[in-house]
Amino acid sequence: MSFKNRLAKMIVDPAFRNPGLMKVIFAIDDVTGVDLVKTLAPFKLMPASAELFQRSFAHFVSGEEISLACATQLSAIAPDRASSGYLLIQAGEEQTHLDHFRHKLDQFGLGEAKLSKFVAPSFKRFGEAIQRRIDCGDYVGALVGNNVVVEGLAICLLEMGCKDLRANSDEVSKFLDFVLEDELHHVRFGERRLKIWNERGLVRERDVADFYGEMWANVVGVVAEIPDVLDSMTIEPAALLAEAKAFFEARFTAAGLAIAA
């Protein structure tokens, strides 16, 4: 481990274990306007400021809310009992993730009330687009929107980003790994269900391609709207788009669908 990461670990780990300390750091930011956290930014000890930290978490919270709403409603319109049962378990896991993120934000004194104003417009459109699919009973579209695109993007962000944060803090690593493990299952479920439904003749490839095109446009939009958040996670926008595109399309290939953005 580099000296920089060793040094960072001495500061970041205690801060995450003792939220009061983090709260004080963020409060000093707010009251004095002196961005203490930002002074640590060149070392990537944590996202560059209280606001950037909050904006970064706002997208994770919003993603969990979209997945919770989708899994809950999708379980009621899925065409088989196995899917409905799994989706209920998934909904429980999404609720757990959401509680976890909210608890951390609360501990750090970062109010949730302000969160929604930090969410990128294209990110909000993910949830709206999936809800429209659910409202017209399109369980295939909703599964593609949430279990392939939204959760796949979360996996790319969690795997590509946060490398310094992980190196700097065992506490953060544990927190991110816990979420990542569940999301990998949710995407695997989406891919397998899509394959089974496709084999049963329930999937119209043209419709999936159209909806994926709409979701992909939102992915491109999000990446363009939050360059500073991505930078705080040490993610190169072009690399994220390439990784996400390859990830989504590998899921379609595994399901027997020839779909590309």
Q: Footprint of Fe ion on residues 112-171 (CB under 5 A)?
A: 151
List the structure tokens of 260: 């590309």
Q: Which stretch binds Fe ion (CB under 5 A): 15-23, 31-39, 113-121, 178-186?
A: 178-186
54 vs 147 by CB, closer to Fe ion: 147
From candidates 59, 97, 104, 193, binder to Fe ion by CB under 5 A: 97
From candidates 51, 65, 94, 249, binder to Fe ion by CB under 5 A: 94
CA distance 98 to 105: 11
54 vs 62 by CB, closer to Fe ion: 62
Q: Which stretch binds Fe ion (CB under 5 A): 86-94, 134-142, 208-216, 228-236?
A: 86-94
151 vs 164 by CB, closer to Fe ion: 151
CA distance 4 to 32: 28
- Residue 43 CB-density burial (10 A; 0-12 exposed, 13-18 middle, 19+ buried): middle
44 vs 152 by CB, closer to Fe ion: 152
The amino acid sitting at 72 is: T
CA distance 165 to 44: 7
CA distance 71 to 31: 41
Q: Which stretch binds Fe ion (CB under 5 A): 34-42, 62-70, 102-110, 157-165?
A: 62-70
Give min distance, CB of 97 to Fe ion, in A: 4
Q: Which stretch binds Fe ion (CB under 5 A): 16-24, 112-120, 122-130, 183-191?
A: 183-191
Q: How far lies 44's CA from each of 26, 47, 64, 170, 240, in Å?
A: 16, 7, 25, 15, 19
Give min distance, CB of 105 to Fe ion, in A: 15
List the structure tokens of 12: 């970041």
**DSSP SS3 for 22:** helix
Decide if residue 67 touches Fe ion (CB under 5 A).
yes
Residue identified by tokens 């757990």 is 96
* Binding residues for Fe ion (CB under 5 A): 64, 67, 94, 97, 151, 183, 186
